[in-house]
Chains A and B, each alone.
Chain A
Amino acid sequence: MPRLNGAQIIIRQLERQGVQIVTGIPGGANLPLYDALAASTAIRHVLARHEQGAGFIAQGIARASGQTAVCFATSGPGATNILTALADAYLDSVPLVCITGQVPRALIGTDAFQEVDTYGMSMPITKHNYLVRSAADLLTLIPKAFRLAGSGRPGPVLIDVPKDVQTEVVEFEHWPELCPVNAHRADDPEAIETAAAMINQAARPILYLGGGVIHAGAAAEARHLAEQGAIPTVMTLMGLGILPSDHPLSLGMLGMHAARATNLAMEECDLLIAAGVRFDDRATGRLSGFCPQAKVIHVDIDASEIGKLRSADAGITGDARHAFADLLLQVRQQDRQQWNGRIRQLQQDFPRFDAEDFAPGRPFHLIRRVAELAGPEALISTDVGKHQMWVAQAYPFTFPRQLLTSGGLGTMGFGLPAAIGAALAFPERPVVCFSGDGSLQMNIQELATAVEQQAAVKIVVLNNRSLGLVRQQQRLFYEQHYFASSYGIAVDFAAIARGFGMRAVDLEGADDPDALLQQAMREPGPCLINVPIDIEEEVTPMVPPGAANTTMIGGDHAKN
């Protein structure tokens, strides 16, 4: 009969779940857990330098692999530090299990040392959370937490474990069954039939695909659907990679920083086939002006998303893969020449790029060059800002889960630790993190983790010595009152990286920047590449916050 303490039960249950990597930081209230982890041969611990870093490393693993990833933090400041990464995972539906230490049961509620109400604070930013009251409860609770994190719409689950629960010894008969992740097949043939008829009748349909399609593993089905009905397709930031960016039906990203032709085409569409999306304001612009003539089909595994912001003429509650497979049986093969011709016309009138954008030294040139050097297998993370939008606009994404980016929360500091997580999950793949000088400084301490783990990430810093996207908004919407958006000192990121023991190159003033870039990209281990970018380089077009998507500023390479 097994006789284990709570901490040992947790570690054993993680092993039984197949967890191979745990990332975190120890402290007083989770030391029993770390003591048990030390005895595990199956689980590798990755010591982060900040709990937010640990949370984002776990996210990198989860986003790149689709598997639930695990992070640890101690009570009090450890827990508060990791909350941002949980909120980020919640908004982008990323499956995590976060286990925090808590003060012993008898001290809860007494303002004990390093006591905070982790349970209360994490409630609104987790899919579910637990404050564990006895070690025996852990037997069933850990598998339940994994089932919850990975089922339906994925998300983070937090388990707060008082220290004396970690040390409490229990004797039990046998290990409980693992809980399988639930499948969610829409069982609604009527809705499928209605939706298929709407698609068959539509003259100007558009597929609007988001992260939910990737979570459902439905990219192949989405592509079939697009091709079978010759349906032009837009993707949200979270959906990039579902259709390869050079696919003839791909209109790229929609919304605030979409190509002009994309937002204009949406204005004309008569049917919006939305799947795995939540009509986020960055995608839709002013909601009343979004696809004003269109009927809506909405496929989502989360019933509460359907009709939340835009009412659906046909709602299908279920995972996108099964919904698409069912629709494919009824959607007619069509070529929709007129509609696709109209879209080609818009794209000719308003080309997505201008030849000048690709001149050496410009952001798009850099991004495309890195893509060439990294190869088609590469995993890409970004931070948040202009550089993120440039990558979304110009990187040639070819497969789902290739892009790891903080969409819903838009958290600066996401990029580096997420890239480390991706490199840990896929050590044989190239991993590139595109960051900004502002964002990198938010989790720069994780350079140490990258070096220690020899995670082969290439960190490309688009250094404009400013909080670029904020500065752009001040230029456009605050009468160029630049305030608190540029840095008074120049930071030598290459020197800092070297200080952490990482190789680094600086393209600033280099005689042959391309040769230096090539050399850095070929480095076997981690490497930082500092790239000067003109502070005036802007992200265009831009829809002003609150405006309709057809109101676009800049990026107007109109050819007529």
Chain B
Amino acid sequence: MPKTEIIAAQEPKNMDTAILRLTVNNHPGVMLQICGLFARRNFNLDGIFCTAIEQGETSCIWLKVDETDKLDQVIKQLVKLEDVLAVAERGDARREISEMEAMLVRCS
């Protein structure tokens, strides 16, 4: 089967949270797969943001993961999901994610 692409971190390992960007097949069950995996494997998920890309064939999902110790396991388990096409560690987007979080809080 096509190998899921993994892009490793480009920032120091001493952060509390990690930012992951997934590319996934876009269908109604895929969010359930991701959230279900975190719930049943006892991984902490701090935030999730998802939107369709490429004419809706795929989606990108941004995850803020509170599991820097277990991050290797988190990524390996995500990669095993058939609908996950790519996983990238994206600490470089930390600021944008924080801004988005702040915006979501303001909106409420």
Seen from chain A, the residues whose Cβ lies within 8 Å of a Cβ on chain B are 119-120, 123-124, 127-129, 131, 147-148, 151-152, 182, 302-304, 307-308
Contacts and interface: CB of A to CB of B under 8 A. Distances in A.
A302 B29 contact: no
Interface residues on B, range: 10 to 19
Interface stretch (B9-17, B47-55, B60-68, B75-83): B75-83
A280 to B, nearest CB: 16
A119 B1 CA distance: 22
A304 B80 contact: yes
A308 B32 contact: no
Contacts of B76: 303-304
A430 to B, nearest CB: 38
A333 B29 CA distance: 53
A148 B36 CA distance: 20
Contacts of A124: 36, 40
Contacts of B77: 304
11 contacts: A119-B29, A120-B29, A120-B32, A127-B82, A128-B81, A129-B29, A148-B1, A152-B1, A304-B76, A304-B79, A307-B73
B26 interface: no
B5 interface: no
Nearest to B76: A304
B29 A307 contact: no
B72 interface: yes
B84 to A, nearest CB: 11
A304 B29 contact: no
B58 interface: no
B58 to A, nearest CB: 17
Contacts of B32: 120, 123
A127 B37 CA distance: 12
B29 A128 contact: no
Contacts of B1: 147-148, 151-152, 182
Nearest to B72: A307
Nearest to A123: B36
Q: Which 4 pairs between the two chains have the least Cβ-Cβ distance?
A: A304-B76, A128-B82, A303-B76, A304-B77
Nearest to A152: B1
Contacts of A182: 1
B44 interface: no
Contacts of B33: 123
Contacts of A308: 73
Contacts of A128: 81-82
Nearest to A179: B1
Nearest to B33: A123
Interface string B65-108: 00000001100110111100000000000000000000000000
A106 to B, nearest CB: 16
Contacts of B80: 302, 304
Given A120-B32, A123-B36, A151-B1, 19 more contacts: A120-B29, A123-B29, A123-B33, A124-B40, A127-B82, A128-B81, A129-B29, A147-B1, A148-B1, A148-B82, A152-B1, A182-B1, A302-B80, A303-B76, A304-B73, A304-B77, A304-B80, A307-B72, A307-B73
